[in-house]
Structures are given as C-alpha cells and as structure tokens.
C-alpha cells in the first residue's frame, strides 16, 4: 500500500469509512436508574460486531467515532453498577413476575425490528403477532399471555440482540435451535452471557486501534450541538428568519468543557489522545472549529451540504446520481480551514453514498448491494482520477441503527463489501489521519469561511426553531441561570451532580425527538427523562423545579396509523381516486415520515390500502408527491398462509412486478415462489398478455386486484402484503417499512366484528 501521494504513483481512491456510535445518556444521575435499555442492547450486537468483523479484513482500515457518554454507560454496565429495570425484568424468575411486570414486558420487549429481529425467531414472531392483535382490546393484552409465553419472551427478546459472533457459539446456538419452552437455566445462561459480551466491547476497539486497523475519534462528551451551545443565534445564522428561543443560550465555555472532557476520557481509556473529532450530528461553525483547534484537534468531519454553502456551490446530482466533474473535484478532497489562529483539516461526507448504506441496500441481495456500492464509489471518483489526482471519498453514517433493517445485522453485505475493497487495487480504505498524511500538499482544498450547519440539510432546524425545540432551550437556559445563581450555597458533591445534569441536558438527543421531524415508541420516555435531568439540577441545589417541568414539552402529534379491514372491498380498479367511500372498510397503513433515530430516508409512498372480498384480494397505493416521474418499478409482495389447522410452517410467496414510466403502465407480471413461474402478465407493447383475471391500473394512484384461485387462497387463509418502489435497480421506499399488512379471508360479517386473532401458529 502506498505511503505517500507522490506524483509518480497512480491516483488512488482513498475511502474514508466513519461509523458513528452513539446513544443518548439514559441514566438518571440522582437515582442511578437507566430509563431505556438501548446502550446495553446495541452493545450486545452492533458495537462489538462492527469492529470485530475487521479481524477478517486486515487491509480495510476504518474510522469509528465513540461518543464518550456512550462509553461511560458501557463501562457502567461492565462494572455491574448500572441499574437497568429492563435487565432486571428479563432476569427475574418468570413465576415472580407481577401484573405490573407483565404489562411492562409487553410494552417494551417487542421493541425490535419485526422482520429481521423478531421475525428471525418463529416463537418471538408468534408472541409479537398475538400482542399486536390484542393490545387494544378492553381486557388488555396480558390476559392473552400465559406464564410459558412470558418465559419465552424474556429469553427471545434478548437473543434477538445477540451479535452474530455469539449466536454461533454452541450453547447459544442450541437455545436458538430449541426455539421455545425455555427454562430458568436457559434464562440464566442468556443473562450471564450478556455480562461476558459487554465486557468485550471496549477492549475490541482498543485492540483494533492498537494494531492500526481503525482510528478512534471522539465527540463532545454528552453529544451537544456545539454551535448552538456556543450561541443559539447560530440557528438563525444558518437559517435566516428561523424562530429562536425566548432566552438566548450562549455558553462557549460549556462547549469547551464538553470537548475537553471528551478528549481526557478518551485518553484515559485508550492511552492516546484522539486526533479527530466528529462534532455531534456533524454540526460545525467557525467558533466550534476554533474551540476544537485550541484543544489540539487536527481534523473534523461534516456533510457535503456545509461545504456547498461555504463555497457557494450546489452539489447537484442528476440522472446518473453522480456529481459533475467540478463538483466531484470539490467534494472528494481534504480541506484545510485557516482563519486567524485556527487551523483544521476537514473532510465532507458524500451523503448519497452514505444514505445508500443507511436506507437502500438493506432491501437488496448482499452481493448486488456490495457490487453497486463499489461501482458507485469508483464512478463518483472517476472525474478526479482522470485529472491525475487522488480522490478522497468520505462515507459517514450511524454505525448501529441501520443494521436492524438488514438480515443478520448486515454481516453478509459488509463481508462482501469489505472483501471487494481488500481485493481492489485502486481503492484504499484508510483512516482519516492516514489520508491526511498521504495527501499531496498541493492538492489540499482551502477554506477561510465556514457557514454554520450540520449533516442534516446543512442547518440546525432539527434541534431549534420549532415550538417544542425552543421551549426545551428556554427551560435549559433557565436551569443554567439558576445554577449560576445558587450553586455556591450547597456542598461540592451537590454542585457536581447539578453540573453533570446540566451538561447531560445540553446534549442533542432530547431535541432530536422534539419538533416535527422524528418520533419513536419512546417519545414520552425521552420527554420525561429530559425534564427529569433539568429537575435534578434544582433538587441538587436544594431548590424547587419550576412548574413547567411537570408538564410534557412534547405536544400531541399524528402517529403512523394501521387500521384493520372491516368490510369487503368493492373498489373499481381504474387508477383513479373515485371518492372517499370506494375503499371504505379497507385495511390501511399510512407512511410515518418522522420515525427512527436515523435521518435521510427518501419518502415516495404515502399510504396503502388493502382488503379482500369473497374471492379476491385488492390493493391501492398512494404516492407522497403524486405519480413519480421517469422510470420506476412497483413490487407487491404477497404471502398466503393456508387456512387454520393445516400447520404449514411457511407461507406461499407471490410477487406482482409492475414497470411504469410516469403515469404510463408499461408491463406487469404476477409470479409465484422462488421459481418465479408466471401466473399472469400484461405488456402495453406486446400481444402476449394473459391477465388471468388480474386487474392492474395506474393513473392518479396504483390499484390492483388478484383472484384467490391464482394464489391458492380460500376462506380462512391469511394474506400479507407489502408494497415497494424501485428506481435504477434500487429499493427506495416501501410500505409498510417494517412488516406487512395482514388480511384474513373471512366472511364479511366476521370482518365487521374485527376478529383478528388468527395466526398461522394457532
């Protein structure tokens, strides 16, 4: 591997892969209790496996960003000091579970991806589907679960988070094979193994960094948005006219401390001070760069949008999804920011390549996805290579949440991708410090101006500007001022608790969930925990929290809706919106565009409707911004479970594939099984159509109807549907995003009473 960028060497593509590992600070510093379990669960899976996988690929060097507050929480678990009520629940003997414990279990132990985590374990899926169909019943879901069910739920809810490396160990593999009817000994094995796994996480990173396989960077300690911590007015500097909090928050000294504590804790654990800083959410400003530079940081990273605004350049992508030559030369480089006494190296991520990993490749076969990514890296960098320069391509994304959407945590995709990287002579996967060392001196880009922004839309609008966001900032400012006025009247120990709670409340995670952009099943928990941190400031200082902290910040918002079918469908399949009543009684699923801890998903689909009548199944798809332009493919996956009593282990799969250009339907084909035998087809340009009673229409909306006899359905069958849209051989959106729409071929009078207790395992 080349060690310098000498003019005589062939131009290289230096690939910078940076995985950002982060969770909010879930610990209440006063009670010591963890409000949510995600640090522990992700440490069982993603944190360990992502770095351990590189043992198999010694030439694939990468960058990992470990947020110090995440590291501190992992250490808390390893030491045995963490008080985690979720862990206590799954460790408790099932016979000792109280009624409250059982309600708690049903509320929280199904919070996992229903396809790739819950669906991987048939018994877990059975329990989840039973909960889904009974949760809203007046008698409560818990009355539908026996002691045996809770015992299995305790074990399977943990196994679902075990890393692939540990699932392969004989005793754990035996539990997976057993599948159900777990004993107290089985439960204790799973609990004990968690301690072993958690203890291996941080040493795995330390060892990989020691041998040079990875470079570790840090983030300001509690993950604050540095520019806003320095001055909330930076929000309006980035987005002119943005509504700001009533109270201006301006504490650059807090920002400096968050950076300093991050570097100190990193050095204490890994015996080396990090050279790089991934600022929380890629949030940068000139003041933030100055503070980091003064702490000895040599490089920082953010998004291409920030570079574009700073250069007054639009990184537009056209039909090829690649930048024009001048855009590629600007983006695929390393920059030196120099202003006054501040010096900083900067790299800017390609958000399209990053989002392909985060949101698209999970829907593709692993080898196809790996091939597509390698080709796109090369095609993207080619204009720079053609100029005889090294291209520095930065792919930066969340290192944990995406893998829930991949089968087996995305390991097959990553292995195939890393193997291709290791064998490719043109691409050098390197650490950011290695890339800086190897870059030609004459090739560095120069920056003397940096527009404030983050890796989301090159502004801070996710964290400030909305009424909920601004109220959160006002409450933080009030608590910060209260600390300044009253901290000198209490003991040093009390002062330290109050100060720590303030620093925690300065983190970005709370405002991530406030405002219109995101939500999760734990919105209420995040809201309560944020207000608890602020209340603890007052309590530690022997004061009384303001009454406002007793009132939720989060207002009521629309949630994604799933409505079961209540009547037979009699809609005309013509692709037209013919009226409100045409699809009355259909099952419906509405797109949720605020969901998850990740940002950047492309939404093309707005809602789906589906239902049965006595002899067919129908579906309708509404688009988010109207019918897409250009070429695209719609895919409707159907699964048909036999009627009750046949005990079939798996469903019969069918697929309706529709190719279209704008509103013009070009062709469609209905196939079955893995063999993809054609059951019906249509072509607008050919004379070999044989629809076999299938109806498909596309104009304002997409509509379809399939006769039962073509898909071997009958009364008592269960039919599941999932709709997806593909563009340029990539799956870009789906509804439901996770799981399926469930239908049951029942007499209409039974649908009217909402008898949805059927499951294939019954």
Does residue 599 form part of some domain?
yes
309 and 333 belong to one structural domain? yes
Averaged pLDDT for residues 666-685: 85
250 and 303 belong to one structural domain? yes
Distance in angstroms (rounded) separating the CA atoms of residues 205 and 270: 9
Using an 8 Å Cβ cutoff, are 496 and 524 in contact? Answer: no
- Specify the residue for token string 């959160």: 472
Does residue 514 form part of some domain?
yes
Cα radius of gyration (the chain): 27
Does residue 390 form part of some domain?
yes
Averaged pLDDT for residues 652-659: 91
**Per-residue model confidence (pLDDT) at position 340:** 95
Q: Which domain holds residue 127?
A: 78-199
190 and 279 belong to one structural domain? no
User: Closest Cα to residue 194, out of 227, 141, 155?
Assistant: 155
593 vs 657 pLDDT, higher one = 657
Domain boundary among 518, 550, 582: 550
Consecutive H or E run containing 415 = helix 411-423
**Per-residue model confidence (pLDDT) at position 643:** 56
> Could you tell me which residues come within 8 angstroms of residue 310 by beta carbon, excluding any fewer than 6 positions away?
447, 449, 450, 451
Q: What is the pLDDT of residues 147-184, one digit of tens each?
A: 999 999 999 999 999 999 999 999 999 999 999 999 99
Q: Global pTM?
A: 0.82
Distance in angstroms (rounded) separating the CA atoms of residues 150 and 102: 8
**Per-residue model confidence (pLDDT) at position 557:** 46
359 and 486 belong to one structural domain? no
**Which residues make beta-bridge pairs with 631?**
661
CATH number at residue 653: 2.60.40
Structurally, the chain folds into a number of domains equal to 4
- The percentage of the chain sitting over the pLDDT mark of 90, rounded to a whole number, equals 67
Q: What rounded mean pLDDT belongs to the chain? A: 89
**Per-residue model confidence (pLDDT) at position 6:** 43
Does residue 393 form part of some domain?
yes
- The percentage of the chain sitting over the pLDDT mark of 70, rounded to a whole number, equals 92
SS3 content of the chain, % helix, strand, coil (to 5): 45, 20, 35
312 and 403 belong to one structural domain? yes
Is a pLDDT exceeding 80 seen at residue 328?
yes
Strand 62-66 with 13-21, pairing = parallel
Buried b (16+ CB within 10 A) or exposed e, 69-92: bbbbbbbbbbeeebebebbebbbb
Q: What is the pLDDT of residues 70-87, one digit of tens each?
A: 999 999 999 999 999 999
Does residue 208 form part of some domain?
no
Averaged pLDDT for residues 700-716: 90
Cis peptide upstream of residue 736 (ω within 30 degrees of 0): yes
What is the SS3 string spanning 29-95? CCCCEECCCHHHHHHHCHHHHHHHHHHHCCCCCEEEEECHHHHHHHHHHHHCCCECHHHHHHHCCHH
- Specify the residue for token string 């800083």: 277
Consecutive H or E run containing 344 = strand 342-349
What letter does residue 144 receive in the DSSP assignment?
Answer: G
Is a pLDDT exceeding 60 seen at residue 597?
no
**Per-residue model confidence (pLDDT) at position 307:** 98
Buried b (16+ CB within 10 A) or exposed e, 463-480: bbbbebbbbbbbbbbbbb
**Per-residue model confidence (pLDDT) at position 587:** 85
260 and 406 belong to one structural domain? yes
Is a pLDDT exceeding 80 seen at residue 9?
no
Distance in angstroms (rounded) separating the CA atoms of residues 498 and 493: 9
CATH number at residue 491: 1.20.1430.10
180 and 230 belong to one structural domain? no
Is a pLDDT exceeding 80 seen at residue 591?
no
For CA atoms 269, 270, 272, 277, give the dihedral sign. negative
113 and 159 belong to one structural domain? yes
Predicted confidence band at 751 (pLDDT cuts at 50, 70, 90)?
confident
Does residue 456 form part of some domain?
no
Q: Which two tokens stand for residue 88?
A: 């206590």
Using an 8 Å Cβ cutoff, are 171 and 182 in contact? Answer: no
Predicted confidence band at 357 (pLDDT cuts at 50, 70, 90)?
very high
User: Closest Cα to residue 134, out of 751, 742, 755?
Assistant: 755
629 and 513 belong to one structural domain? no
By the 10 Å C-beta count (0-12 exposed, 13-18 middle, 19+ buried), 94 is classed as: buried
Quote the strand ranges of 130-247, DSSP E: 214-217
Is a pLDDT exceeding 50 seen at residue 332?
yes
Q: What is the pLDDT of residues 174-230, one digit of tens each?
A: 999 999 999 999 999 999 999 999 999 999 999 999 999 999 999 999 999 999 999
CATH number at residue 258: 3.20.110.20
What letter does residue 360 receive in the DSSP assignment?
Answer: I
683 vs 266 pLDDT, higher one = 266
**Per-residue model confidence (pLDDT) at position 420:** 98
190 and 223 belong to one structural domain? no
Using an 8 Å Cβ cutoff, are 746 and 708 in contact? Answer: no
Using an 8 Å Cβ cutoff, are 458 and 351 in contact? Answer: no
DSSP string computed for 228-255:
HHH-TTHHHHHSTT----SSPP--HHHH
Is a pLDDT exceeding 50 seen at residue 760?
no
Does residue 213 form part of some domain?
no
Distance in angstroms (rounded) separating the CA atoms of residues 683 and 712: 24
Distance in angstroms (rounded) separating the CA atoms of residues 295 and 288: 11
Q: What is the pLDDT of residues 528-567, one digit of tens each?
A: 899 999 999 999 999 999 988 888 888 754 444 677 888 8
Q: What are phi and psi of 117, to 5 degrees?
A: -110, -60
Strand 702-707 with 695-698, pairing = antiparallel
User: Closest Cα to residue 221, out of 590, 572, 499, 513?
Assistant: 499
- Specify the residue for token string 């439960």: 187
DSSP string computed for 519-543:
B-TTHHHHHHHHHHHHHHHHHHTT-
**Per-residue model confidence (pLDDT) at position 688:** 65
Distance in angstroms (rounded) separating the CA atoms of residues 306 and 460: 11
Using an 8 Å Cβ cutoff, are 215 and 436 in contact? Answer: no
675 and 637 belong to one structural domain? yes
Q: Which two tokens stand for residue 84?
A: 């985690």
Predicted confidence band at 519 (pLDDT cuts at 50, 70, 90)?
low
Is a pLDDT exceeding 60 seen at residue 304?
yes
Q: What are phi and psi of 200, to 5 degrees?
A: -90, -10
Domain boundary among 395, 416, 447: 447
Predicted confidence band at 752 (pLDDT cuts at 50, 70, 90)?
low
Residue 556 vs residues 162, 319, 511, 514: alpha-carbon distances, Å: 35, 40, 16, 11
Q: What is the pLDDT of residues 83-112, one digit of tens each?
A: 999 999 999 999 999 999 999 999 999 999
Averaged pLDDT for residues 446-475: 94
Is a pLDDT exceeding 50 seen at residue 271?
yes
Does residue 382 form part of some domain?
yes
Domain boundary among 418, 447, 476: 447
Q: Beta-carbon neighbour count of residue 563 at 10 Å? A: 12
512 and 625 belong to one structural domain? no
């Amino acid at each position: 591997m080349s060690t310098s960028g000498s003019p005589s060497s062939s131009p290289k593509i230096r690939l910078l892969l940076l995985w950002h590992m982060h969770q909010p600070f879930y610990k209440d510093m006063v009670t010591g209790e963890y409000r949510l379990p995600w640090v522990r669960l992700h440490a069982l899976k993603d944190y360990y496996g992502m770095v351990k996988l590189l043992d198999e690929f010694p030439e694939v060097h990468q960058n990992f960003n470990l947020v110090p507050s995440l590291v501190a929480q992992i250490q808390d678990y390893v030491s045995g000091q963490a008080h985690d009520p979720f862990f206590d629940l799954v460790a408790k003997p099932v016979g000792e579970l109280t009624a409250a414990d059982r309600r708690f279990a049903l509320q929280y132990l199904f919070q996992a991806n229903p396809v790739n985590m819950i669906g991987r374990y048939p018994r877990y899926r059975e329990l989840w589907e039973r909960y889904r169909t009974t949760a809203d019943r007046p008698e409560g879901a818990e009355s539908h679960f026996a002691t045996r069910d809770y015992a299995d739920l305790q074990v399977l809810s943990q196994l679902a988070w075990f890393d692939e490396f540990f699932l392969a160990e004989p005793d754990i593999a035996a539990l997976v094979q057993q599948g159900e009817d777990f004993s107290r000994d089985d439960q204790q094995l799973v609990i004990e193994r968690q301690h072993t796994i958690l203890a291996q996480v941080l040493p795995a990173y330390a060892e990989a960094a020691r041998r040079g396989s990875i470079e570790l960077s840090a983030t300001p300690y509690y993950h604050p948005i540095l520019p806003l911590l320095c001055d909330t007015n930076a929000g309006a500097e980035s987005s002119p006219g943005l509504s700001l909090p009533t109270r201006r928050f301006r504490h650059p000294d807090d920002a400096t401390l968050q950076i300093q504590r991050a570097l100190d804790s990193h050095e204490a654990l890994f015996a080396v001070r990090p050279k790089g800083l991934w600022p929380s959410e890629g949030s940068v400003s000139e003041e933030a760069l100055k503070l980091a530079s003064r702490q000895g940081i040599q490089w920082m990273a953010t998004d291409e949008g920030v570079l574009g605004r700073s250069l007054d350049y639009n990184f537009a992508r056209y039909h090829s999804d690649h930048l024009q030559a001048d855009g590629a030369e600007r983006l695929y480089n390393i920059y030196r920011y120099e202003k006054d006494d501040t010096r900083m190296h900067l790299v800017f991520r390609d958000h399209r390549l990053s989002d392909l990993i985060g949101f698209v490749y999970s829907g593709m076969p692993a080898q196809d996805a790996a091939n597509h990514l390698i080709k796109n890296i090369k095609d993207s960098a080619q204009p720079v290579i053609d100029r005889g320069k090294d291209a520095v391509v930065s792919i930066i994304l969340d290192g944990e949440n995406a893998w829930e959407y991949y089968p087996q945590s995305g390991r097959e995709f990553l292995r195939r991708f890393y193997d291709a990287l290791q064998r490719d002579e043109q691409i050098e996967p390197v650490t950011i410090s290695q890339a800086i060392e190897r870059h030609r001196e004459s090739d560095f880009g120069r920056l003397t101006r940096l527009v404030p922004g983050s890796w989301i839309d090159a502004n801070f609008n996710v964290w400030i500007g909305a009424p909920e966001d601004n109220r959160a900032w006002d409450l933080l400012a009030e608590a910060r001022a209260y600390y300044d006025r009253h901290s000198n009247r209490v003991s040093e120990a009390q002062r330290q608790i109050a100060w720590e709670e303030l620093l925690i409340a300065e983190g970005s995670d709370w405002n991530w969930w406030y405002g219109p952009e995101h939500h999760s099943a734990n919105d209420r928990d995040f809201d309560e925990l944020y207000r608890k941190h602020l209340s603890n400031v007052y309590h530690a200082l022997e004061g009384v929290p303001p009454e406002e902290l007793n009132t939720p910040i989060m207002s009521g918002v629309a949630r994604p809706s799933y409505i079961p079918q209540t009547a037979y469908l009699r809609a005309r399949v013509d692709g037209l919106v013919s009226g409100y009543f045409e699809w009355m009684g259909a099952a419906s699923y509405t797109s949720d565009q605020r969901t998850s801890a990740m940002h950047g998903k492309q939404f093309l689909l707005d809602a789906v409707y589906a239902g049965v009548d006595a002899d067919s199944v129908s579906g309708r798809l509404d688009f988010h911004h109207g019918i897409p332009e250009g070429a695209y493919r719609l895919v409707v996956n159907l699964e048909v479970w036999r009627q009750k009593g046949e005990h079939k282990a798996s469903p019969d799969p069918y697929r309706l594939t529709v190719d279209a250009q704008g509103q013009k339907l070009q062709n469609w084909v209905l196939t079955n099984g893995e063999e993809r035998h054609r059951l019906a087809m249509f072509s607008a340009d050919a004379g070999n159509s044989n629809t076999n009673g299938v109806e498909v229409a596309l104009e304002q909306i997409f509509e379809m109807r399939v006769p039962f006899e073509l898909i071997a359905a009958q009364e008592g069958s269960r039919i599941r549907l999932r709709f997806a849209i593909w563009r340029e051989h990539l799956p870009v959106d789906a509804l439901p995003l996770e799981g399926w729409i469930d239908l049951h071929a029942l007499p209409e009078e039974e649908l009217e009473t909402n008898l949805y207790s059927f499951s294939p395992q019954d």
